[in-house]
Amino acid sequence: MLNRIEHGAPTERPGLVIVHGLYGSARNWGVIAKRLSDTRHVIAVDMRNHGASPWFETHSYEDMAGDLAEVIKGLDGPYDVLGHSMGGKAAMVLALTQPALVNRLIVADIAPVSYGHSQVQYIKAMQAVDLAAVERRSDAAAQLQATVDNPALVPFFLQALDVAEKRWLLNLETLAREMPKILSFPDISGSYEGKVMFLTGADSAYVTREHRDRIKALFPAAQFAKIPGAGHWLHAEKPREFEAAVRTWLG
């Protein structure tokens, strides 16, 4: 079963499972998860090949949805599910294939489509870090800053570094090999009839009006909301606004 971090205790309200994106972890969501747990049980998970969860040779959305299903069944679900980016796709596949486990769905800045960009360059950047020379996080930061095109991503990547053990808490080899699957979306028939909110960053190009027909075909009850001034990492860039939007919609 996936590693998970629990916040709060079960209440009369549905619990919430939070699913991070590529290179993320349950710890990245600690502040938001803790704040939302004032009225409900909140669980943030480490996805396979991330954080403290087991490593596998595969990283498909069918695999990830199956992992989430196992977690929710163990919680005596259904639960509300919030997923960002890769986690949003995994949550969508879960809702489409095992709808009885998903009470409501929040998809953060991702659409059920294939994307043309690649994330492999960041895996190569992390693999290129000389971990033997890393005594503190700043040593790795200096190496990453020379190869990562977006400086804002460096602190995020460093959260996945175990300095004491001199290793990444990411299965970089599998993630690189499975990148085509991560960038794609499975060909799934049918639809999820439950309530869904697609919450996006107003400055992000990940979810466009051209995606609306595909979204509505799979999620007929989909609603859309944007956070002004936020990009793809909307929960990190505008955490208070993100929390407020989630809290209001779940309210």
What pLDDT score was predicted for residue 119?
87
pLDDT in the model for residue 11: 94
**Which residue in the list 59, 84, 232, 235 is annotated as catalytic?**
232
Q: Catalytic site residue 232?
A: yes
Q: What is the pLDDT of residues 92-125, one digit of tens each?
A: 999 999 999 999 999 999 999 999 988 899 999 9
203 Cβ contact list (under 8 Å, min separation 6): 229, 230, 231
Distance CA 125, CA 23 (A): 13
pTM of the model: 0.96
pLDDT under 50 in the chain at which residues?
A: none
Backbone torsions φ then ψ of 49, nearest 5 degrees:
65, 15
Question: Catalytic: 59?
Answer: no
Q: Write the single-letter amino acid at 180.
A: P
Instruction: Give me the count of residues in the chain.
Output: 251
* pLDDT given for residue 248 in this prediction: 97
b/e sequence 151-169, b meaning 16+ C-beta within 10 Å: eeebebbbebbeeeeeebb
User: Catalytic: which of 25, 53, 85, 204?
Assistant: 85
Our measurement of the distance from residue 168's CA atom to the centroid of its chain's CA atoms, rounded to an integer in Å, reads 18
CA distance 146 to 51: 25
Active site residue 85: yes
Q: Give the C-alpha separation, 24 to 15, whole Å.
A: 21
Provide the CB-side half-sphere exposure for 116 (13 A, CA).
Answer: 1
Residue labelled with tokens 């809702």: 95
